[in-house]
Chains A and B, each alone.
Chain A
Amino acid sequence: MAEQFVAKASEFQNGDRQIIRVGEDEIGIFKHEGKYYAYSNFCLHQGGPACEGLTIAGVKEKLRDDKTSVGLYFDENSMHFVCPWHGYEYDMFSGEQVADRRLKLKKYNVVQKGDEVYVVA
Chain B
Amino acid sequence: MDLIANHGRRVSVEELNTSKLLAHASRQAKERKFEDVMIVDVDAHHYENEHFGEILPYMDNEVFKQLALASRAKGGRGSVAPSVFGFQDIGGRVTRYPLRDSEQAGKGYQRDIEIGHRWMDAMGVDYSCLFPTGMLNIGSHPQVEMEYELTWAYNRWVTEKVIPESNGRFFTMLGLPMSDPEGALKQVETFGDRKGVRGFMITAVRPNLPVHDNRLMKVYRAIEERGLALSFHSGFNWTDKQFQSCNRFIAAHALGFSWYNILHCTNWVVNGMGERFPKLPVIWIEAGLAWVPFVMQRIDHEYMLRPSECPLLKKKPSDYMRDMYYSTQPMEIQDMGALEDTFRMINAETQLMYASDYPHWDFDLPSTIWDLPFVTEKARHNILGGNAARVLGLPPRNEAQKKNLERFGNLKA
Residues of A in contact with B (beta carbons under 8 Å apart): 15-16, 42, 46-49, 52-57, 74, 76, 82, 84-87, 89
A-B contacts besides A56-B91, A86-B361, 14 pairs, CB < 8 Å: A16-B12, A46-B367, A47-B24, A49-B21, A53-B95, A54-B3, A55-B5, A57-B5, A74-B6, A84-B21, A86-B94, A87-B90, A87-B361, A89-B93
Contact B91 A49 (CB under 8 A): no
Do A86 and B362 contact each other (CB < 8 Å), given the known contacts A56-B5, A56-B93? yes
Say yes or no for B368: interface residue by CB 8 A criterion: yes
Residues of B in contact with A (beta carbons under 8 Å apart): 3, 5-7, 9, 11-14, 21, 23-25, 27-28, 90-96, 361-365, 367-368
Residues of B within 8 A of A89 (CB): 93
Question: In the complex, which of the residues A42, A47, A56, A86 contacts B6, with contact meaning CB atoms closer than 8 Å?
Answer: A56
CA distance in complex: A47, B13 (Å): 19
Count of A-B residue pairs with CB < 8 Å: 63
- Indicate the member of A46, A48, A54, A86 with the most B CB atoms within 10 Å: A54
* Closest beta carbon of chain B to A16's beta carbon, Å: 7
* Closest beta carbon of chain A to B8's beta carbon, Å: 11
Residue of A nearest to B95 (CB): A84
Main secondary structure of the interface of A (DSSP, over half): loop
The 3 closest A-B CB pairs, nearest first, are A84-B95, A56-B5, A74-B6
Residues of A within 8 A of B90 (CB): 82, 87
Contact B25 A86 (CB under 8 A): no
* Closest beta carbon of chain B to A86's beta carbon, Å: 6
A sample of 21 cross-chain residue pairs with beta-carbon separation below 8 angstroms, ordered by A number, consists of: A42-B24, A46-B368, A47-B24, A47-B25, A47-B365, A47-B367, A49-B24, A54-B5, A54-B92, A54-B93, A54-B95, A74-B7, A82-B90, A82-B93, A84-B13, A85-B21, A86-B362, A87-B90, A87-B94, A87-B361, A89-B93
Do A84 and B11 contact each other (CB < 8 Å), given the known contacts A46-B364, A49-B24, A54-B3? no
Residues of B within 8 A of A46 (CB): 364-365, 367-368
Residue of A nearest to B97 (CB): A84
Residues of A within 8 A of B3 (CB): 54
Residues of A within 8 A of B93 (CB): 53-54, 56, 82, 84, 87, 89
CA distance in complex: A89, B93 (Å): 9
Contact B13 A52 (CB under 8 A): yes
- Indicate the member of A57, A74, A87 with the most B CB atoms within 10 Å: A87
Do A84 and B94 contact each other (CB < 8 Å), given the known contacts A47-B367, A56-B5, A74-B6? yes
